[in-house]
Amino acid sequence: MRDTSVVLSGLRLDNPVIPASGTFGYGADFREFYDINCLGSFSFKGTTKEPRFGNPTPRIAECESGLINAVGLQNPGIDAVIGEELPRLKEFFHKPVIANISGFSIDEYRYCCERIDREEQVGIIEVNVSCPNVRHGGMSFGTSPEAAAEVTRAVKEVTTKPVYIKLSPNVTDIVAIAKACEEAGADGLCLINTLLGMRIDTVRRRAVIANKMGGFSGDAVFPVAVRMVYQVSKACSVPVIGCGGVSSARDVIEMMMTGATAVEVGTANLRNPYACKEIVETLPVEMERLGIEKLSDIIGIVE
């Protein structure tokens, strides 16, 4: 019997497979396809203080090896998540969930994280620092070590549960930002978020999506994600959740070998709603093929 279990900041997961925020909603849609309790956990849709309709359409541009999205953090707001989504989730998902929190100011991050920290079903708080920092001309909180550390400290002051900071790859030195978050008290890190991309409609001679640019994700970003997970896991001592272009059990194992303790699956869910279920089912097969008895033994084995 192959052991697929891993431990994230004291939270034991049956397996390391976690659907990424923004690709799995709040779980209700995917329960129509399969019993989502087969997952290690899942990261629910990025949640802000106030409800957000999101960006104008079109929001998606398909690419040969991925897609570009500019959804714009569409979500019902923290009150609705706590009052409606989490009680509904509790009816069909019986494991701790990862709460993805976004914000446009330090105060908003603090407020939302403090609120969600009180919820029993939340096991880990995942803080997305790729949001525009309105105090600094719209630059992302995650583009500088100082700003990322400021968010981390603010959130840690008002929470008791493990806080993982989700990092943007659209930076010169992701290790410096990761180390700043760790020093500010982050319990773990998640990387990478989407790369910035753009597509042009050559017939209409304009950008495909209304926002012009958006987050590029999918198979094409996997080598970039592996490289960054490797760099950060070697430089930091806190656990890392790997994310970016994962679409198979082999990808999960490769990312874990570079240092990830668990792995998030994003774009693959949009192409195939059974993607995570299939990865969970094929993990033991891939482990047997590679002679791996215990999945946690391979974390960070690549020198």
pTM summary value: 0.96
Quickly list DSSP for 142-157.
GGSHHHHHHHHHHHHT
> How far apart (Å, rounded) are the C-alpha atoms in residues 97 and 123?
6
Least confident piece of the model among 69-73, 88-92, 157-161, 282-286: 69-73
> How far apart (Å, rounded) are the C-alpha atoms in residues 293 and 287?
7
Model pLDDT, residue 135: 54
**Helices 106-117 & 145-156, crossing angle to 10 degrees?**
40
Model pLDDT, residue 136: 54
- Other CB atoms within a 10 A radius of the CB of residue 161 amount to 19
- Provide, rounded to the nearest whole percent, the portion of the chain with pLDDT above 90: 92
> How far apart (Å, rounded) are the C-alpha atoms in residues 146 and 11?
29
**Residue 236 falls in the annotated catalytic set:** no
Which of 131, 181, 190, 243 is labelled catalytic?
131
What's phi and psi for 272, nearest 5 deg? -145, 105
Give the residue-averaged pLDDT of 203-226: 95
Mean pLDDT (the chain, rounded): 95
Model pLDDT, residue 137: 46
Give the residue-averaged pLDDT of 82-93: 97
Model pLDDT, residue 37: 98
Give the residue-averaged pLDDT of 56-70: 92
281-292 pLDDT tens trace: 999 999 999 999
Under 8 Å between Cβ of 211 and 56: yes
> How far apart (Å, rounded) are the C-alpha atoms in residues 165 and 101?
10
Name the band, by pLDDT with cuts 50, 70 and 90, for residue 203. very high
Tokens 């990261």 sit at which residue?
43
Return the amino acid letter for 69.
N
> How far apart (Å, rounded) are the C-alpha atoms in residues 151 and 142?
9
Bridge partners, residue 265, by sequence: 19
140-167 pLDDT tens trace: 889 999 999 999 999 999 999 999 999 9
Domains, the chain, ordered by start: 6-54+74-195+218-298 (3.20.20.70)
- pLDDT of residue 296 exceeding 50, the answer is yes
- pLDDT of residue 133 exceeding 80, the answer is no
Name the band, by pLDDT with cuts 50, 70 and 90, for residue 54. confident
Whether the link from the prior residue into 58 is cis, omega within 30° of 0, is yes
Name the band, by pLDDT with cuts 50, 70 and 90, for residue 237. very high
- Other CB atoms within a 10 A radius of the CB of residue 213 amount to 14
| Three-state SS at 138 | coil
170-196 burial, b if ≥16 CB within 10 A, otherwise e?
A: bbeebeebbbbbbebbbbbbbbbbbbe
- pLDDT of residue 139 exceeding 90, the answer is no
Give the residue-averaged pLDDT of 93-117: 96
Short-list 48, 53, 85, CA closest to 71: 53
- pLDDT of residue 250 exceeding 80, the answer is yes
- pLDDT of residue 171 exceeding 60, the answer is yes
Model pLDDT, residue 132: 58
> How far apart (Å, rounded) are the C-alpha atoms in residues 46 and 192?
15
